[in-house]
């Protein structure tokens, strides 16, 4: 996995000797795509095709489940990328300087935290030097958590899945795939 971030980042120690195939990295998500699903707008498809043609790609689209992927790109503006990365760190309970190996998940250890949407901005304020207001939790879901939930890195409602969406007892947790 490659992470690009505009916040201070320290690369974790490698946990594998050989590159993982795209299928291994994606796990079950590689098989959950809807038949005939469309993942890119036509304009982005044309952009990628043009890029591949101009750069003489040996393996266009470079996504094969049995081989490592060269690039999988998520285009987000820098502020949103930072929020997504910081949301992942907060849900994992990682403070600046903590190695990824210290990441925790309620799904693996029931004593681990399950921060709510209100608690995540407080975590950022305390540990990452942000100065967000309590009301910013509303934006957190649609600007950051939704992306992590969509790719099964974070689970919403980990502690209390039957609670209403706006219930603070639901909490968020890294999935097993998110911890890998």
Residue 124: its pLDDT value, please? Answer: 92
Residue 91: its pLDDT value, please? Answer: 93
pLDDT in tens, the chain (180 residues): 555 566 666 666 666 667 677 777 777 776 776 666 666 677 777 887 887 777 766 666 656 677 766 555 555 666 777 888 889 999 999 999 898 889 988 888 888 889 988 899 999 999 999 998 877 777 888 788 888 887 788 888 888 888 887 777 788 999 888 887
Residue 93: its pLDDT value, please? Answer: 93
Does domain 78-179 match CATH 3.40.109.10? no
**pTM score:** 0.60
Domain extents in the chain: 78-179
Structure tokens at 60: 């266009």
Residue that is written with structure tokens 């009301």 in the block:
135
Residue 148: its pLDDT value, please? Answer: 85
Instruction: Measure Cα distances from 75 to 33, 47, 80, 81, 176 in Å.
Output: 20, 13, 10, 9, 25
Residue 11: its pLDDT value, please? Answer: 61
Residue 126: its pLDDT value, please? Answer: 95
Residue 61: its pLDDT value, please? Answer: 60
Phi-psi region of 129 (alpha: psi -120 to 50; beta: other; left: phi over 0): left
Residue 60: its pLDDT value, please? Answer: 60
Residue 66: its pLDDT value, please? Answer: 74
């Amino acid at each position: 996995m490659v992470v690009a971030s505009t916040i201070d980042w320290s690369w974790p120690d490698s946990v594998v000797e050989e590159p993982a195939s795209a299928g291994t990295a994606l796990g079950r998500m590689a098989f959950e795509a809807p038949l005939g699903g469309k993942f890119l707008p036509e304009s982005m498809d044309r952009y990628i095709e043009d890029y591949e043609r101009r750069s003489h790609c040996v393996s266009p689209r470079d996504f094969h489940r049995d081989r490592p992927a060269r690039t999988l790109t998520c285009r987000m503006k820098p502020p949103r990328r930072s929020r997504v990365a910081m949301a992942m760190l907060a849900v994992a309970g990682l403070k600046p300087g903590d190695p990824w190996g210290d990441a925790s998940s309620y799904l693996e250890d029931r004593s681990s935290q399950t921060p709510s949407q209100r608690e995540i901005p407080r975590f950022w304020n305390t540990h990452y030097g942000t100065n967000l207001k309590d009301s910013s939790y509303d934006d957190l879901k649609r600007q950051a958590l939704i992306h992590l939930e969509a790719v099964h890195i974070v689970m919403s409602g980990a502690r209390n899945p039957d609670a209403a969406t706006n219930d603070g007892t639901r909490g968020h947790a890294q999935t097993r795939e998110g911890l890998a």
